[in-house]
Amino acid sequence: MKKTIKNSYQQKMHYLISKQAKKGGVFKTLQSISREKYTEKLSAALLYGLLSSIAVNFFFQPGHVYSSGATGLAQVLSAVSGRLTGYAVPVALSFYLINLPLLLLAWRKIGHKFTVFTFFTVTFSSFFIQFVPVVVLTDDPLINAIFGGLIMGLGVGYGLRANISSGGTDIVSLLIRRKTGRDVGSISLFINCLVMIFAGLLFGWQYALYSMITIFVSSRVTDAVFTKQKKLQAMIITNQPERVTQKIHRKLNRGVTSINDAQGTYNHEKKAVLITIITRAEYQDFKDIMRKADPDAFVSIAENVKIMGHFVEE
């Protein structure tokens, strides 16, 4: 009799959860994601979770060094709770609690696909931080700061390359950017300053400085891995403007500005000048296109150009 009641209760709960998930659009969202993208993003989320747990449990926690963003805030909450109550709330739990309301907000305001993969990233990160053991490799806070920042930067960079978010300040920044149209680095700066202040108060101001080194190293490594945000301007002088333009349109989905009837001052030969903006991540594909479309073209590349106007990021 008890077994029948238990089975009936489980079936009812399964039905209610399925109904709410269907109503919220979870199943529809998952079905709309292609298997290739699903595998790519899930792999990146898994890799980020593993790398972030190694950074936190092998370097940050043993060295009393703090990360940036939500991870650093979770470390602060854990340390403060330990000082005030004698029981330190696990970093993994703090990290998850910080992100849960932000995920609900992202589901309503940003997009379902974005939220689903951010949820996976936050879950994997929390899981690994909780179950990967804390290992003291060195007591030197400087080494912990440098290598912890390096590993965390790798995780964030590879996550960004797969277009997934690690949650936390990413969600807040994206919400404000969509509302105001402005990029708000001040949100991240405020949270990082808060983390630094608590690091100084809890462990001494030298640890706040070590944490600043962590944030610097992490950001530099992230920039080195995630190259999509870096813009390049390519100026192409060619005899085959139509062929080059078609291949750039087809392969890179980028616009091209054409200046016709340009003339070289040496041979006085008529040529076309093409100008296009690409990302650093597209540079190798662009070189392959030029090799096939017009190997004799003269191409100059300007790095880190600033863009005013519409530019498609993906």
Q: In this model, does residue 180 exceed pLDDT 90?
A: no
Q: In this model, does residue 201 exceed pLDDT 50?
A: yes
Give the burial string for 245-258 (b: 16+ CB within 10 Å, else e): bebbeeebebebeb
- Per the CB < 8 A criterion, the answer to whether 199 and 252 are in contact is no
What integer is the mean pLDDT of 250-271?
A: 84
Show Cβ contacts of residue 17 under 8 Å, excluding neighbours closer than 6 positions. Answer: none
Q: In this model, does residue 27 exceed pLDDT 80?
A: no
pLDDT (tens digit, 9 = 90+) per residue, 84-95?
A: 888 889 999 999
- For each of the domains in the chain, give its residue range(s) and CATH number, in order of start: 24-225 (no CATH), 231-303 (3.30.70.120)
Q: In this model, does residue 193 exceed pLDDT 50?
A: yes
Q: In this model, does residue 143 exceed pLDDT 90?
A: yes
Q: In this model, does residue 296 exceed pLDDT 50?
A: yes
Tell me 282's DSSP state: G
Higher pLDDT, 71 or 18: 71
Q: In this model, does residue 20 exceed pLDDT 50?
A: no
What's the CA gap between 187 and 55, in Å, rounded? 23
